[in-house]
Amino acid sequence: MSTAIIVMTGPESSGKTTLATCLAGYYKAPLISEVARDYLAGRNSYEKSDLLEIAKLQHQEERKNFARFPKRIICDTDLLVVMIWSEVKYGCCDPWICDAFERGLHEQASTRYYCLCDSKIPWEEDQLRENSDNRQELFELYREKLQKYKVEYRVVEGSPQERLQQVVSHFKSQ
């Protein structure tokens, strides 16, 4: 595989963190965690401005790690998640988030590959999760955005091991 940023995306409780952790272990690559988890820990609420701060921190972590490990990084999430989160929660997204997402698709000398995690797994309750009833609708929003931006992606489904194998097989065939 050439230089790559492998990004997990999809609705809440769709196995993104599990798959990201497995891929980072398999490839012995750095894992860029979801910044929102630490940022929102212990809070009862958040505001639209928090999503911009989360996006900036997530973007910074990705860029910092890609500079240190240019061959491959694994991202538990990226700005696409924050973009959709903003649109669903507040009806719009801060222009900085959209612009940074679009720039990231074009400016880095790398391949950005998305794993769109299917939501057909059991919901796991979590104090930060909000959308247990519309995961399939959200899944379709992610698919639409990925197609709109013409980014390479693959829907991954099944057990954690099946998902890992789907991604690894994809890269072996490249």
pLDDT at 126: 64
CATH of the domain at 52: 3.40.50.300
- Between vectors from CA 102 to CA 96 and to CA 103, what angle results, nearest 5°? 85
* Predicted pLDDT of residue 43: 85
Q: How high is the pLDDT of residue 104?
A: 83
Amino acid in the structure at residue 7: V
Per-residue pLDDT of the chain (174 residues; tens, 9 = 90+): 456 889 999 998 888 999 999 999 999 999 999 999 899 888 888 899 999 999 999 999 998 888 887 788 999 999 999 999 999 999 999 999 999 999 888 765 567 899 999 988 764 666 654 655 778 999 999 999 999 999 889 999 999 999 999 999 987 766
> Contact at 8 Å (CB) between 75 and 62?
yes
Predicted model pTM: 0.88
> What 3-state class would DSSP assign to 125?
coil
Q: How far is CA 87 from the centre of its chain?
A: 16
Provide the number of structural domains found in the chain. 1
Residue numbers of the domain that contains 54: 4-172
